[in-house]
Structure 1
Amino acid sequence: MNLKEAILENQNYVDPDEGMYVVFAQKVNNAFEPSSDARILLLRHEDFETPIADFTKVHCPGFDYFLEMNIIQDFWGDLKANQKISQEAKWIKRLIQYAENDA
């Protein structure tokens, strides 16, 4: 799965009571790209007691934390509601910019 696919499938993930879904992706030239390899993992509440970098090294080496799926869902909904941004590729690019600069 690539990052674009993970973002587009965001509505397929509903956080269960025992944790939340988190997206991890590989950076290309030190940046996330829509084509970056991505993984969606369910982190249980106890997993958040471990620093995210340590969790990543064990469960998805070579990947970096991208965003929690619920943040992607909220952000994606806001982008879709904004009539000024109407192209899927632009939405994905904007979400990646948010993850890299503002999250």
Structure 2
Amino acid sequence: MMTLRDAILENQNYVDPDEGMYVVFARKTNNAFEPSSEARILLLTHQDFEIEIADYTNTHCPGFDYFLEMNIIQDFWGDLKANQRINQQEKWVKRLIQYAENDA
């Protein structure tokens, strides 16, 4: 089982191909994303993005919620790593989850 923490920490292993992009979905715990939340990384095609994300989720990964596109995680992760005030991976993971829940 992949956790949300794993998906975030492995973000550099995913390069979007021409036909689509990688998206992270996760199960919420008590209505919130947690580092330990079960996660899935799916490659969505451009046609998949024409479907409402809730409909896509219900069909392809029921019980999961949209978290973020992997390219957004990669950009945000790069910004966190460049910020010297935040120097621990666990803090970075929690900060990214806060961003996804509140600002994305």
Name the TM-score class by shorter chain: over 0.9
Q: Note the 1:73-84 alignment, pairs <5 A.
A: 73-84=74-85
Segments of 4+ in structure 1 off by > 2 A?
none
Shift of 1:92: 0.3
Shift of 1:76: 0.2
Kindly provide the amino acid, as one letter, of the partner of residue 97 in structure 2: I
Q: Which residue of 1 aligns with 2:15?
A: 14
Shift of 1:13: 0.1
TM-score with structure 2 setting the length: 0.99
CA distance in structure 2 between the partners assigned to 1:5 and 1:92 by the alignment = 9
Say yes or no: does 1:54 pair with 2:55.
yes
Shift of 1:15: 0.1
Shift of 1:94: 0.3
Q: Which residue of 2 aligns with 1:93?
A: 94
CA distance in structure 1 between the partners assigned to 2:3 and 2:85 by the alignment = 26
Q: Note the 1:17-32 alignment, pairs <5 A.
A: 17-32=18-33
Size of the aligned set, in residue pairs, is 103
Shift of 1:66: 0.1
Kindly provide the amino acid, as one letter, of the partner of residue 75 in structure 2: D
Q: Which residue of 2 aligns with 1:65?
A: 66
Shift of 1:85: 0.3
Shift of 1:35: 0.2
Kindly provide the amino acid, as one letter, of the partner of residue 55 in structure 1: Y
CA distance in structure 1 between the partners assigned to 2:90 and 2:12 by the alignment = 17
CA distance in structure 1 between the partners assigned to 2:50 and 2:72 by the alignment = 20
